[in-house]
Amino acid sequence: MGQCPCFGSAQAAERERVAEADRMEAQEARAKAAEAAQRRQEEYEKSAAGRAAKAQMKAMKESKTANQGEPVLKWQMGS
């Protein structure tokens, strides 16, 4: 009661076809996710919060007196 060898190759071909379809679906999903992330980034940059964050980062970079190696928080013992 042996199997015909052609069944094995047909099953392997089907597995390969399914694997290729899965790869294509994953690639399409990654592309859609990247597009959505790009849209969210653009919307954030146009929003008030995005503009404020950008201005704050620019001000921090331009600030010459920003901490000068001092720690941001200083701990002091006692009152």
Q: What angle do CA 39, 28, 33 make, to 5 degrees?
A: 25
pLDDT-derived band at 77 (thresholds 50, 70, 90) equals: confident
Distance between CA 59 and CA 54 in Å, rounded?
9
pLDDT one-digit tens code per residue, 22-59: 999 999 999 999 999 999 999 999 999 999 998 988 88
Provide the CA 61 distance to its chain's centre, in angstroms. 25
Query: Please, is 37 exposed, middle or buried when counting C-beta atoms within 10 Å of its C-beta (0-12, 13-18, 19+)?
Result: exposed
Q: Is the pLDDT of residue 74 over 80?
A: no
Delimit the domains of the chain by residue range: 9-58
pLDDT of residue 65: 61
What is the reported pTM?
Answer: 0.54
pLDDT of residue 61: 83
pLDDT of residue 1: 44
